[in-house]
Chains A and B, each alone.
Chain A
Amino acid sequence: MNHPATLRAIRDAVRSRARSVGDVCREALERLDAVEPALHAFNTVTRDQALARAERLDRDLGQWRDRPLVGVPIALKDNLCTQGIRTTASSRILETFVPPYDATAVARLEAAGAVVIGKTNCDEFAMGSSNENSAFGAVANPWALDRTPGGSSGGSAAAVASGIVPLALGSDTGGSIRQPAAMCGVVGVKPTYGRVSRYGLIAFGSSLDQIGPLTRTVHDAALALGVIAGPDPADATSAPEPVADYEAALTGEIGDVRVGVPARLIEGGVHPEVARAFQTSLDVLRSRGAALVDIELPHAKYATAVYYLVATAEASSNLARYDGVRYGFRARVEGQAKGEDALRPMYARTREHGFGPEVKRRIMLGTYVLSAGYYDAYYLKAQQVRTLILRDYDHAFERVDVVAMPTSPTPAFKLGDRVADPLQMYLADVFTVSANLAGLPAVSVPCGFTAGRLPIGLQLTGRRFDESTVLRVADAYERHTSWWKEAPALS
Chain B
Amino acid sequence: MFSRAEVEAIASLANLELDANEIAMFARQLGEILAYADEVQQVDTRSVPPTASVLAPFPSDRPDEVRPSLARDVALANAPDPAAGAGLFRVPRVIG
Which A residues form the contact surface with B (CB < 8 A)?
A: 96-98, 100-101, 193-194, 207, 233, 236-237, 239-240, 299, 302, 305-306, 308-309, 316, 320, 323-330, 333, 336, 338-349, 351-352, 355, 357, 360-361, 363-365, 367-368, 371, 377-378, 380-388, 390, 422-423, 426-427, 437-439, 464
Contacts and interface: CB of A to CB of B under 8 A. Distances in A.
A371 B49 contact: no
A385 B52 contact: no
A339 B15 contact: no
A422 B33 contact: yes
Contacts, number: 175
A386 B50 contact: yes
Contacts of B51: 383-384, 386-387, 390, 437
B58 A240 contact: yes
A367 B50 contact: no
Contact of B52 (A316, A361, A383): A383
A308 B41 CA distance: 14
A412 to B, nearest CB: 24
Contact of B77 (A98, A299, A385): A98
B50 to A, nearest CB: 3
A206 to B, nearest CB: 9
B94 to A, nearest CB: 5
Given A343-B91, A360-B22, A380 B37 contact: no
Nearest to B78: A327
29 contacts: A98-B78, A194-B54, A207-B52, A233-B62, A237-B55, A239-B58, A302-B39, A309-B37, A320-B15, A323-B15, A324-B80, A327-B80, A336-B93, A339-B95, A342-B93, A346-B91, A348-B11, A348-B16, A352-B16, A364-B7, A367-B10, A387-B48, A387-B49, A387-B50, A387-B51, A423-B33, A426-B33, A427-B36, A438-B54
If over half of A's interface residues share one DSSP class (helix, strand or loop), that class is named, otherwise mixed; here it is helix
B92 interface: yes
A188 to B, nearest CB: 20
B55 A439 contact: yes
Contacts of A344: 15
Contacts of A309: 37, 40
B54 to A, nearest CB: 3
B18 to A, nearest CB: 7
Interface string B42-72: 0101001111111100101010000000100
A188 B47 CA distance: 37
Nearest to A194: B55
B96 interface: yes
Contacts of B48: 384-385, 387-388
Nearest to A367: B14
B1 to A, nearest CB: 14
Contacts of B75: 100, 326
Contact of A340 (B34, B60, B96): B96
B30 interface: yes
B96 A338 contact: yes
Given A381-B43, A384-B48, A427-B36, 20 more contacts: A100-B74, A100-B78, A194-B55, A239-B55, A326-B78, A326-B79, A327-B78, A328-B78, A341-B94, A344-B15, A348-B15, A348-B17, A351-B17, A357-B22, A364-B7, A371-B13, A381-B41, A383-B52, A387-B50, A388-B48
